Structure 1
Amino acid sequence: MKHKNLVQMPNGYLNRTPIFQFILLSILFPLWGAAASLNDILIAQFKSVFTLSDFATAFVQSAFYGGYFLIAIPASLIIKKTNYKLAVITGLICYIIGCSLFFPASHMATYFMFLCAIFAIAIGLGFLETSANTYSSMMGPRESAVLRLNISQTFTPIGSLLGIVLGKYLIFQEGESLDNQLAKMSSEEAHIFGLKMLQHTLQPYKYMILVLIAVLVLFLITKYPSCKAQIEKTEVGKKSELIKTLKYLGGNSRFRKGIIAQFLYVGMQVAVWSFTIRLALDLNSEINERSASNFMIYSFIAFFVGKFVANLLMTRFSAKKVLVIYSIIGTLLLAYTSFASSTMAVYAAVAVSMLFGPCWATIYSETLEIVEEKQHTEVAGAILVMAIVGGAVIPAVQGLVSDLTGSLQLAFLVPTACFIYVGYYFYSGVNKREKVKKLMSEDQINSAK
């Protein structure tokens, strides 16, 4: 390893964290945060312009998180054969290509073409998340892996916030809501107006391409440690066999529970954010999309604060205990969102973002830590990223419930149920840890006797 005073342990972890490389790696996190939050803007825009049902608008998230699902395993195999840095570079290039596809999409003006562009972006982000999440947790001592990933994840809401701001001012326009404006137009006028509105969707992606190119150049010229576990020669054959790795991971019940928790958590978060703007418009017909997008700005500020507070709490309490409390409060807020009779329901949906903060990073790190045979780390990380497909499924379920019941507000019971399971997952982890401590104490007492 060429990094001065840096030692890589046999399990892949480093003796210390290389600060510049860690910061540069953490810059990737707001990049996918911006792409994800722009989807929330696009859903509101496409709903009116293409006259879509709530279920159909969720296809934006299905295309986005479906791309993650399909690319995660191939990305992990590339990492196994090469290194994390190459996967990051590949992800950035695919991300740039996806953003560039918004140029033809805005001119072709078909919902399908926009979904293709979003899917291409997701391919790039699948590479980035599969590599960066695991890389962040490995880039330093093993005992601080969870905290390290939470620190990197703290940058994500900054990107989410920037994405919403770009969407608010570059995609949404002043005046009445799109639905109100379109209702006053003839079919021909509405078509011309819709084409004009779709041109605005291109604007934020122009700026993102410039940023992505700059980050790509920095990664190309920066040296990075490998952070890959040393595998004995007798294990090399096993390492290359994907089926055996999947069998090993599938036979671990704790790992399976972690995957389910990640699936439901991501789905819950994406569902809440996908429909917050719509909920605000439904409960207050006097505001337009640009004003309603303020609630997403508040949501991402709350998300950032929640992460920051959780990081502080985790330095004093176990991550699982912190997340149990977060889950209980989050469940109550989502239940209130489903039944409140005023715009306070929207503020409750905003507040719950504060409780989302540490969930992803903690579930990811804790579940990855379960994998004791480190030759399976890359694929295990990829499967955890594949669990992001919850973001493709849960919003669609919520949209379907909204269409069937005629109440978008009542459909918030779908993410409420998800938060209940996430809380159970962390609670069962706390119980298991307490039982282990109790058994260890009893063993020590018996040994002393």
Structure 2
Amino acid sequence: MKAEPLIQQNDGYLKKTPIFQFILLSILFPLWGAAASLNDILIAQFKSVFTLSDFATALVQSAFYGGYFLIAIPASMVIKKTTYKIAVLIGLLFYIIGCSLFFPASHMATYTMFLVAIFAIAIGLGFLETSANTYSSMMGPRESATLRLNISQTFTPIGSIIGILLGKYLIFQEGESLEKQLARMTPEEAHDFSLAMLQHTLQPYKYMIFILIAVLIVFLFTKYPSCKVQVDQKLKSTPGMKETLRYLFKNKRFGKGIIAQFLYVGMQVAVWSFTIRLALVLNDDLNERSASNFMVYSFIAFFVGKFIANFLMTRFSPQKVLVVYSIIGTALLGYIVFATNMSAVYAAVAVSMLFGPCWATIYGETLNVVQDKKYTETAGAILVMAIVGGAVIPAVQGIASDLLGSIQYAFIVPMLCFVYVGYYFYQEMKREQAIDSSASDYTSIQS
């Protein structure tokens, strides 16, 4: 039976979603989820092995999300010159290279080399996210773009859970926490022990290389639609970068969406970066392996939160759902700051449920305010660049923790971020209500 042809609209959106290609594209989402969650494991491991401050450990996230920031525009230019599929293949290749760099990093045993490997992975993920997020939103009818992206994003926490489990069982070891074990050793013993612990950091990346190669091969041989705006060749209206940036940043709603995405990614990464540390501080009997269970719970909550949000968004507007999520999330982060027992850790787990729909909704809604679709690729790249919030906010939280002498008090940083995200969705909700009211009044006058 001959496959039904993929019908593409002039604005780049497809008339119907190709199921197999959409599922394969969505499989990319857990791949970067796994890489991001492994960073949370590495932060806890490096904290003790390299004797780092909370700010220094946050440089793991700075290297990771800084790579996203630097590569997003070049990735969008590759997409513009070639296709989304080519950008995905380049991203997978860089991801494989980055994982391979953990081999020399684990033997050289320097923090800098690990940051280089993480940065290389981030370059690959920058290509993947710049292409896959926009591609997912466009692979079907325009009116369901945000829902489609939310469905793809639902796969992300599956990868996050896998990443944490790989880190828990392949990087972390049994016994007392690393800090306690190192405290009883002589400098020579501590050095040898630290080298042995760093060898374990290589293990999860070995498995990931094989998975990435398999995905690369399948993607290479799968036919994909272009999902690009059809440009009238006579007009030759493909815009340059200066024209595109001028157009985008005159759009105030686009700018507000960028700020919201920056702060959202930053608070999410900050909370997840310091959840294991929070558990170790509040319960002296835990070691890194047992404390990592709270990250597993966090990503399960994140996954559940996405499903609940997807269900609610079929009945209410995404803006209304996210306003409620933001209010509850802000309250939970405030509780973490002032709680005096392990309930603070459970609040950190619970807040992950409220993170679920934020990224995809901000991305989809902000991309949708770009009315002239010839600017879509660059707009998507700038939204991915906003991921640099994951490099900045955890570092700010790390500085706050070092200055205040309390990892708990430092959670006020992501709490303030959630306040702004809630305000952003509240503004979007009021704007939507005003449009609906105007449309209703117009209909009444006509009738």
Do they fold alike, i.e. is TM over 0.5? Answer: yes
Residue 409 of structure 2 aligns with which residue?
410
Name the aligned partner's letter for residue 102 of structure 2. Answer: F
Residue 198 of structure 1 aligns with which residue?
198
1:219 partnered with 2:219: yes
In the alignment, the residues of structure 1 paired with residue 260 and residue 3 of structure 2 have an alpha-carbon distance, to the nearest angstrom, of: 37
Question: What SS does the corresponding residue of 1:14 show, helix, strand or coil?
Answer: coil
1:249 partnered with 2:224: no
Is 1:17–1:139's contact at 8 Å kept on the other side of the alignment?
yes
1:266-285 maps to which residues of 2 (within 5 A)? 266-285=265-284
Name the aligned partner's letter for residue 282 of structure 1. Answer: V
Instruction: State the percentage of identical aligned residues.
Output: 75
1:147 partnered with 2:141: no
Residue 93 of structure 2 aligns with which residue?
93
TM-score scaled to structure 1, two decimals?
0.98
Residue 259 of structure 2 aligns with which residue?
260
Residue 301 of structure 1 aligns with which residue?
300
- Deviations for 1:76-114, whole angstroms, at most 9, x for unmatched residues? 000011100000000000000000000000000000000
Residue 48 of structure 2 aligns with which residue?
48
* Shift in Å, 1:424: 0.6
* Shift in Å, 1:115: 0.1
1:44-443 maps to which residues of 2 (within 5 A)? 44-233=44-233, 235-237=235-237, 239-443=238-442
* Shift in Å, 1:438: 1.4
Name the aligned partner's letter for residue 124 of structure 1. Answer: G
Question: What SS does the corresponding residue of 2:341 show, helix, strand or coil?
Answer: coil
Name the aligned partner's letter for residue 99 of structure 1. Answer: C
In the alignment, the residues of structure 2 paired with residue 436 and residue 369 of structure 1 have an alpha-carbon distance, to the nearest angstrom, of: 16
* Shift in Å, 1:436: 1.2
* Shift in Å, 1:437: 1.4
Is 2:239–2:375's contact at 8 Å kept on the other side of the alignment?
no
In the alignment, the residues of structure 2 paired with residue 240 and residue 253 of structure 1 have an alpha-carbon distance, to the nearest angstrom, of: 20
Is 1:99–1:205's contact at 8 Å kept on the other side of the alignment?
yes
Name the aligned partner's letter for residue 45 of structure 2. Answer: Q
Question: What SS does the corresponding residue of 2:236 show, helix, strand or coil?
Answer: helix
Is 1:254–1:370's contact at 8 Å kept on the other side of the alignment?
yes
Cα RMSD of the aligned pairs, angstroms, is 1.0
Is 2:306–2:356's contact at 8 Å kept on the other side of the alignment?
yes
What are structure 1's unaligned runs of at least 5 residues? none
In the alignment, the residues of structure 2 paired with residue 162 and residue 246 of structure 1 have an alpha-carbon distance, to the nearest angstrom, of: 38
* Shift in Å, 1:240: 3.9
* Shift in Å, 1:234: 5.3
* Shift in Å, 1:235: 4.9
Name the aligned partner's letter for residue 125 of structure 1. Answer: L
Distance 1:44 1:242, change over 3 A: same
In the alignment, the residues of structure 1 paired with residue 113 and residue 18 of structure 2 have an alpha-carbon distance, to the nearest angstrom, of: 42
Name the aligned partner's letter for residue 242 of structure 1. Answer: M
Name the aligned partner's letter for residue 347 of structure 2. Answer: A
TM-score scaled to structure 2, two decimals?
0.99
- Deviations for 1:329-352, whole angstroms, at most 9, x for unmatched residues? 000000001110100000000000
Distance 1:294 1:19, change over 3 A: same
The number of equivalent residue pairs is 446
Residue 30 of structure 1 aligns with which residue?
30
